[in-house]
């Protein structure tokens, strides 16, 4: 097969299909996707194309890939948990030296930290923290 990518490129249709499986729960959050090798077999595409599809999902924060391990589906953000308890919080913290360097601000300057805890069947799966500069300071 040369390169017949009329309409939509192949890596995109593959990404769409994988996204569907994740969002439908066919690939449960927290579980590994099939290996790249398995995906090349299933979609009859080269490994490079499979990796491009997965890269698209990564940029959507739908999956996380770890070197020798595999690619893992991430718990969805706007999914209301069964217990309904929103494990979210927002607070202000002073920047430590690490964050200060990244943001190019002074150590001790105030940052906004938003925290989100995702659970599955009661156990904590992930803790996500997003830091940013207060709007007032910009």
Residues that bind a second copy (CB under 8 A): 59, 64, 66, 69, 79-80, 83, 85, 90, 99, 101-104, 114, 117, 124-132, 135
DSSP states of 105-137: --TT-EEEEEEEEEEETTEEEEEEEEEE--GGG
- Contact partner, 35, from a second copy, DNA, none, Cβ < 5-8 Å per class: DNA
Give the whole-angstrom CA distance, residue 74 versus residue 128.
Answer: 11
- Please say which residue, 24 or 78, places its beta carbon nearer to a second copy: 78
Helical pair 47-59 and 36-43, crossing angle rounded to 10 deg: 110
9 touches, from DNA, a second copy, none (C-beta below 5 to 8 Å by class): DNA
Q: Give the nearest distance from C-beta 21 to DNA in angstroms.
A: 15
Residue with tokens 């964050």: 99
In the complex, the smallest distance separating the C-beta of residue 39 from DNA, rounded to whole angstroms, is 8
Q: How far is the CB of 36 from DNA (least distance, A)?
A: 4
| Token duo for residue 84 | 């309904």
Between 31 and 79, CB nearer to DNA: 31
Contact set with DNA (CB under 7 A): 1-6, 9-12, 33, 35-37, 44-49, 51-52, 65-71, 134-136
For residue 69, what are its two tokens?
A: 């391990």
Q: Which does 99 bind (CB under 5 to 8 A by kind): DNA, a second copy, none?
A: a second copy
Please, where are the H alpha helices in the chain? 10-23, 36-43, 47-59, 97-103
Minimum CB separation of residue 128 from DNA in Å reads 18
């Amino acid at each position: 097969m040369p390169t017949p990518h009329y309409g939509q490129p192949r890596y995109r249709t593959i990404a769409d299909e994988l996204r569907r499986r994740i969002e439908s729960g066919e690939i449960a959050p927290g579980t590994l996707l099939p290996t790249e090798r398995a995906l090349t077999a299933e979609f009859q595409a080269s490994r490079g194309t499979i990796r491009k599809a997965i890269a698209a999902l990564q940029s959507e924060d739908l999956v996380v890939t770890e070197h020798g391990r595999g690619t893992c589906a991430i718990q969805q953000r706007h999914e209301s948990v069964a217990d309904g308890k929103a494990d979210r919080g927002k607070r202000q913290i002073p920047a430590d030296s690490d964050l200060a360097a990244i943001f190019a601000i002074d150590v001790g300057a105030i940052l906004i930290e938003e925290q989100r805890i995702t659970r599955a069947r009661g156990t904590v799966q992930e803790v996500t923290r997003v830091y940013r500069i207060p709007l007032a300071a910009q």
